[in-house]
Structure 1
């Protein structure tokens, strides 16, 4: 199924590259799906899947072309993660967040980017934005001690963006920031024992007394205002607004999980009887037909919201325009609406499919657990997003969250 909400400035070459990368993701679906159970057991994505994604170039999509990446638009990133999620939600989630962290690294100073990719262009990054650390200002940078939870994909990263308070010489907080720290300076504590998205390996990172030079610290307040440290201001991707992109990172996998659920229910319907009815199979039952129609429509709505937000982001970045507050609020609302609709689509599919949804051998039960967990990510809270957007519609900015 295709959706036409694309940015007006997209060229034939842009679309051809997108089609190629999505096709590469589609070819990996069998490997990704085949490793899904192992991912759950190990609480991390299997190395076979990681290696296959790397070989296909799908960890390179948001890396700057200067370092051998594809530097694609946000729409392409959404579609690649969506396609991988049709095989396994955890694998797609990790891929999406690692690619998102690579995008963010393209906003740092030139020296920071050289630190990450100058010696190894295949370096991958993970991220946790919460500033759960203490810092001390020293000559040339900061000394950081902290612990950061929910570091998805950290097993497969060489660097991490981690939230820190930026303090002055007196130790007083003056800003919040992100510190770029090599994984060799961090330890991973296994804290990820969950019912959904088990394979993401979203454990806790920690460090003690690690020096981070100034050039590897990004001001969050400046980033929220569209001001980044990269000197390469002609690169449209890295002009994209911080929060809308961060929110859309987690949408693509949920679109793919919902699509996988719907595809599975439709595939199985001719072979499944309707217990305690006179219908020969689910295909003949109007109740199932109506539920599948509702699920498909919800999934359509999810895609349309997500792709509209991506088009708005990509078009503004292409023209070098900083999205105003109301536009960013709408993008946040679109992301939340897409996630809510995708989750409801899976719930509706389960109602059509029946009680066997919860058989351990049925992939649908894993999709349900995964999308329920993924949809509760705090940064995409639908009520907060609605409040931000509603206030913006009546001319009120701020007062709810800085993440707009």
Structure 2
């Protein structure tokens, strides 16, 4: 097994920042081809982005979620699809660390291994000797084209077996990819559909999902690590939210880069920056960017703090994690919408970044786990003393 010195958060963020030129250069190609450019994938690997959630005993960095937020935010300044795909890889990689240690030995034997995945139980698993046979399909599998493994969710059922959702790991070579990612936003993520046809999965690569959601993990060597002893949904929330913050900052940067040369057509303003309307717009948007960053930071602080202390999570803390994620996504979108509205008709050209940023943040806000309304309702439900109506907390 490999070992390596773990870079400090500042070093990892600096490495991400240095990737911005190549990621910006490839953003248009990724949009057109509906997947990340191979050069971008290699750049992320060289910077250690795929090692952030890998255990140190395999040469990984075991980075906390605040690092994930800051790295994703930096990547999103260049390209939302790249940041999104990186953050999606972090979640199934972390989930891999819940499996028995011998399974991790197999997965992490691949340098810069990439694990894609989903939380949707859209397949069936039939128990057989030594494991299960899975049939079904999963949509929205970001980064599938460049992945080595996929984490899947399926419903295990059979004669005399009570239906139960399971989580399993499958080599990508066992799955088919359906090239169906034709979308308006996050186009470069390659979030295609994958299909399993009579795929056998050995028992050691299968875990009961209810146990995982309850924090009952199979790994012994990871049990004492702060980043591997927190619940799945707060981890997923904190892993994702940095992209939203980064897109808001990207919109802010893009707007102010164009501002000195812009006028407001069909008005008396020869310079947009002289208009009181512009002053009100940028002030409101900047505050929303700050507020989005606050919620992302509070979420990461909660996840990391509970991991270090080892304290049990309360129900309110679990749903508050999702509420913070939803709030950050909503505020980021509101900020981007303001900057996009203020950017004028010339901003609809595809070479102007603001139009892609606006489409990406809109797509992100529609994601089932991140939807601001869904998360706010769940939080309010708990505040009103009701029981949650979902296991995904």
State TM-score, norm by structure 2.
0.95
**1: CA distance, partners of 2:156 / 2:73:** 36
1:98 aligns with 2:89: yes
Alignment partner, residue 164 of structure 1: 154
Give 1:47 shift: 0.2
Give 1:104 shift: 1.2
The match for 1:155 among 138, 145, 150 is 145
Give 1:375 shift: 1.2
Alignment partner, residue 363 of structure 1: 353
**1: CA distance, partners of 2:260 / 2:25:** 24
For the aligned residue pairs, the C-alpha RMSD in angstroms reads 1.5
Matches within 5 A, 1:3-402: 17-117=8-108, 119-167=109-157, 170-173=160-163, 175-232=164-221, 233-398=223-388, 400-402=389-391
- After TM superposition, the structure 1 stretch with the greater mean CA deviation from structure 2, 389-398 or 22-31, is 389-398
SS in structure 1 opposite 2:260?
helix
Give 1:169 shift: 5.3
Q: Once the two structures are superposed, what CA deviation does each residue of 1:26-46 show, in whole Å capped at 9, x if it has no partner?
A: 000010011000001111000
SS in structure 1 opposite 2:53?
coil
Contact (CA 8 Å) 2:213, 2:392: kept in 1 or not? Answer: yes
Contact (CA 8 Å) 2:124, 2:157: kept in 1 or not? Answer: no
Give 1:339 shift: 0.2
5+ residue gaps, structure 2, are none
SS in structure 2 opposite 1:308?
helix
State TM-score, norm by structure 1.
0.93
**2: CA distance, partners of 1:101 / 1:171:** 27
SS in structure 2 opposite 1:45?
coil
Give 1:323 shift: 1.3
**1: CA distance, partners of 2:291 / 2:253:** 17
Q: Once the two structures are superposed, what CA deviation does each residue of 1:214-272 show, in whole Å capped at 9, x if it has no partner?
A: 22112221122122111121111111211112123332112111111111111211111
- After TM superposition, the structure 1 stretch with the greater mean CA deviation from structure 2, 194-203 or 278-287, is 278-287
Q: How many residues align?
A: 388
Give 1:279 shift: 2.7
5+ residue gaps, structure 1, are 1-12
